[in-house]
Amino acid sequence: MSELRKATTESPAVLALAGIGFGYGRDQVLSDVSLQVSRGEFVTVLGPSGCGKSSLLKLIAGVVEPSEGQLSLRHTTAGKRLGNISLMQQRDLLLDWRTVAENAGLGLELSGIDSSEIPVHVKRIAEAFGLEDVLQRYPWELSGGMRQRVALMRTLLIDSELVLLDEPFGALDAITRSKLQLWLLDVVDQQDKTFLMVSHDIDEALLMSDRIVVMAPNPGRVIEEVVVPVIPKKSHQALLEPEVLNLKRRILSLLANQEQVA
């Protein structure tokens, strides 16, 4: 892949949030959060721990509902998002008593796909994930990076337009994480899907994203949106490009200013 795919601003909105608020009891977690994700985009919500990033994904997925504001997902009626969005959480959540193939096909199984068709779907994309030789193994036989590949394959096999990624590589060591970030760029390039990821890793956000939504905590809110330059991203050397370094400095300054205010 020579460069990260880019969605145009004219692309239809897959997801739109306007003035979203959310809290647990008296604790306000999110306040006046607005953002829009266009078809084919890879957008990262970036911010420190405690700014409500994971809560935002739960709201979008339909696990919980906002206390205020409007949230719309294309081709989905209000309150019916649950099951129509793919969500990959921080932990791989693989079932140790099921093979790799059986774990990968779990979402299809739960969505009612005929059991005889599921292995065909799994085998069809296993090679792209580097898993074609381990389909009959069990999760406990795999490395952490391989387990995350299985979890992502399970997520992408589900027929949904929007994929939510909750710090998908956060539990991995730095070297494995770096390798999987580049691998995921290639996988994303082959998918006709829209991606929304949350992360607290600025380098990861810059490498993966078309656009970054920067959040601050207490309560969680959007403080700026930045567009990532279109540059070749075959390696992490891309992060050393002058325009990317300038953008990193800008994001660091934004977050530092919020810490001073707090």
3-class secondary structure, 23? strand
Domains of the chain, first to last: 1-85+163-177+192-262 (3.40.50.300), 90-159 (no CATH)
Tens-digit pLDDT string for the chain (262 aa): 334 344 445 567 889 999 999 998 888 999 999 999 999 999 999 998 889 998 999 999 888 889 999 998 886 655 566 657 888 888 889 999 999 999 999 988 888 888 889 999 999 888 888 899 999 999 999 998 899 999 989 998 888 889 999 998 887 888 888 888 888 888 888 888 899 999 999 999 999 999 999 999 989 999 999 999 877 676 788 888 899 999 999 999 998 887 655 4
Please state, in angstroms and rounded to a whole number, the distance separating the CA atoms of residues 40 and 169.
Answer: 21
Pairing of strands 42-46, 194-199: parallel
Task: Please answer whether residues 214 and 221 qualify as being in contact, where contact means their C-beta atoms are separated by less than 8 angstroms.
Answer: no
Give, as one character, the DSSP assignment of residue 209: -
| Single-letter amino acid code for the residue at 193 | K
Give the global pTM: 0.87
Summarize pLDDT for 83-131 with one digit per residue, the tens: 578 888 888 899 999 999 999 999 888 888 888 899 999 998 888 888 9
Contact indicator for 194, 161 with CB cutoff of 8 Å:
yes
252 Cβ neighbours under 8 A, 6+ residues apart: 202
Residue 7: per-residue pLDDT: 46
- pLDDT above 70 covers what percent of the chain? 90
